[in-house]
Chains A and B, each alone.
Chain A
Amino acid sequence: MNETSLPESTPSLQRKLEGRALRSMLLSILVWISAILTSIPLFSVLYMLSTRGGARLNWEAFTELPPAGFEMGGGFGNALVGTLFMVGIASLIAIPLGILAAIFLAELGPNSKLATIARFSAKVLAGVPSILAGVFAYATVVVTTGTYSAIAGGVALAVLMLPIVVLTAEESMKMVPKIMKDAAYGMGCTHTQVIWKIVLPTGMPAILTGVMLAIARASGETAPLLFTALFSNYWLIQDGRLDAMNPTASLAVLIYNFSGMPFDNQIELAWAASLVLVIIVLIINAISRIFGKPKF
Chain B
Amino acid sequence: MMQQVATDTDAQPAVLAMDCKLNRIFYGNFLAVRDSHVPIEKNKITGFIGPSGCGKSTVLRSLNRMNDLIEGFRFEGHVQFIGQDIYGKGVDPVVVRRYIGMVFQQPNPFSMSIYDNVAFGLRINRYKGDIGDRVKHALQSAALWDEVKDKLKASGLSLSGGQQQRLCIARAIATQPQVLLMDEPCSALDPIATRRVEELMTELKKDYTIALVTHNMQQAMRVADTTAFFSVDISGGSRTGYLVELGPTSQIFGNPREKLTKDYISGQFS
A295 lies within 8 A of chain B by Cβ: yes
Instruction: Give chain A residues whose Cβ lies under 8 Å from the Cβ of B102.
Output: 183, 186
A 257-278 contacts with B by CB, 8 A: none
A-facing mask of B101-128, CB < 8 A → 1, else 0? 1101010111110000000110011000
B157 CB contact (under 8 Å) in A179, A193, A296: A296
- Complex Cα spacing A61 to B99, Å: 65
A182 touches B108 (CB 8 A): yes
A188 touches B121 (CB 8 A): yes
Q: How far is the CB of A184 from chain B (nearest CB, A)?
A: 7
> Given A188-B121, A197-B124: A183 and B110 within 8 A (CB)?
yes
Instruction: Give chain B residues whose Cβ lies under 8 Å from the Cβ of A187.
Output: 97-98, 101, 120-121, 124, 171-172, 175
- Complex Cα spacing A296 to B124, Å: 22
- Complex Cα spacing A197 to B98, Å: 16
A190 lies within 8 A of chain B by Cβ: yes
B64 lies within 8 A of chain A by Cβ: yes
Instruction: Give chain A residues whose Cβ lies under 8 Å from the Cβ of B197.
Output: none
- Complex Cα spacing A193 to B95, Å: 13
- Complex Cα spacing A71 to B44, Å: 90
A 175-231 contacts with B by CB, 8 A: 177, 179-180, 182-190, 193, 197-198, 201-202
B154 lies within 8 A of chain A by Cβ: no
B 197-229 contacts with A by CB, 8 A: none
B124 touches A189 (CB 8 A): yes
B66 lies within 8 A of chain A by Cβ: yes
A residues contacting the other copy or chain, number (CB 8 A): 19
- Complex Cα spacing A29 to B173, Å: 59
Residue of A nearest to B168 (CB): A183
A185 touches B124 (CB 8 A): no
B97 CB contact (under 8 Å) in A177, A186, A201, A295: A186
B94 lies within 8 A of chain A by Cβ: yes
Instruction: Give chain B residues whose Cβ lies under 8 Å from the Cβ of A197.
Output: 120, 124
- Complex Cα spacing A190 to B97, Å: 10
- Complex Cα spacing A32 to B121, Å: 52
- Complex Cα spacing A202 to B120, Å: 14
- Complex Cα spacing A182 to B105, Å: 11
B111 touches A296 (CB 8 A): yes
B108 touches A180 (CB 8 A): yes
A-facing mask of B83-103, CB < 8 A → 1, else 0? 000000000001111110110
Instruction: Give chain A residues whose Cβ lies under 8 Å from the Cβ of B168.
Output: 183
Q: How far is the CB of B172 from chain A (nearest CB, A)?
A: 7
A179 CB contact (under 8 Å) in B94, B95, B104: B104
Instruction: Give chain A residues whose Cβ lies under 8 Å from the Cβ of B234.
Output: none
- Complex Cα spacing A186 to B104, Å: 9
- Complex Cα spacing A295 to B154, Å: 12
- Complex Cα spacing A184 to B94, Å: 10
Instruction: Give chain B residues whose Cβ lies under 8 Å from the Cβ of A201.
Output: 111-112
A182 CB contact (under 8 Å) in B104, B125, B171: B104
Instruction: Give chain B residues whose Cβ lies under 8 Å from the Cβ of A185.
Output: 66, 69, 97
- Complex Cα spacing A193 to B124, Å: 8
Residue of B nearest to A183 (CB): B108
Instruction: Give chain A residues whose Cβ lies under 8 Å from the Cβ of B121.
Output: 187-188
Instruction: Give chain B residues whose Cβ lies under 8 Å from the Cβ of A296.
Output: 111, 157
- Known contacts A182-B69, A187-B175, A188-B124; can you find 5 more A-B pairs with CB under 8 A? A186-B64, A186-B104, A187-B98, A188-B175, A201-B111
Closest 6 CB pairs of A and B: A188-B98, A186-B102, A179-B108, A188-B97, A295-B111, A183-B108
